Structure 1
Amino acid sequence: TLHSGKVSKTITVNTTAPGAERVILEIRMDLTTAVELLPRGTVFLRTAPGQARTEKVLARPNRKGMRITGVRSSNPAIRATLEPAEPVAGSGKDGGLASALLPREGDVWVVVTVPADAQPGVHRADVIVETSDPEHPEAVIKVNAVVR
């Protein structure tokens, strides 16, 4: 999974060409994913039998006109719902990392829950975040949960 932001990679190419035995290529990119999942697109949950555990992931649509329209879980032992994310004053693209993690207009919370009645053991799920964009209809949150 790619994350939005500035990325730099360096590649060294060794050749047998006289005068160009070693060429260094630097690639710089500013990536923007269609849907950003913050702080990350993976959720780890640990709980005891009889105790529910919840974590929230901020889903941010980065394409003009795109909306988050729904959410579903591939495993009935792991529940997923959407909650509105109220924009926070001062959240923006130029405010650094802390500012980037604050809700903006159009963001929603994906609430991932292992319910209190979940059976002991390891549970895995893909939580599918659905969008209104036909070119990017889904984003996936990988969930790993342990009930012990």
Structure 2
Amino acid sequence: MITMIAAAAENNALGKDNELVWHLPNDFKRFKALTSGHYIIMGRKTFESFPKPLPNRTHVVISRQKDYAPEGCIVVSSMEKAIAICPKDQTTFIIGGGQIYELGLAYADTIELTLVHHSFEADAFFPEIDRNNWELTTSEFHNKDEKHQYDYTYQTFTKK
């Protein structure tokens, strides 16, 4: 199964200048819980936004750079090649960025989206979820608090 996992604002903003524009600790914990032990597919810029590779995950990085070879990663040149090298008997996560989500939408079975209830200036965006093709199956709202500056909702969509 292929699952796209993202946090996006109400205007589909993902980030700006290769960084997130909000800080939601509970969303980081959820991301870690869901993706640990799995293959994660990402673009080069997303990989380079991490201070170091994420522990307990197999990193598959899509890059057009022929000689790009970060230590401990599998580098491929397309979404098709990325999906082909991942195990078919377990969930693979597509973790961004914007272009990779656009490419991955056609392959995904599920979307795990954290909807941040705010709009942000951004240069990377999550693709529009077409409700003719996707069904919202779960939704869990969380109020902002001392650690979370914005209200947010965990949403799970499944392909129809």
Q: TM-score range by the shorter chain?
A: under 0.3
- Between 1 and 2, higher relative CO (CA 8 Å, sep ≥ 6) is seen in 2
Structure of greater Rg: 1
Report the TM-score when normalising by structure 2: 0.23
More strand by share: 1
Report the TM-score when normalising by structure 1: 0.25
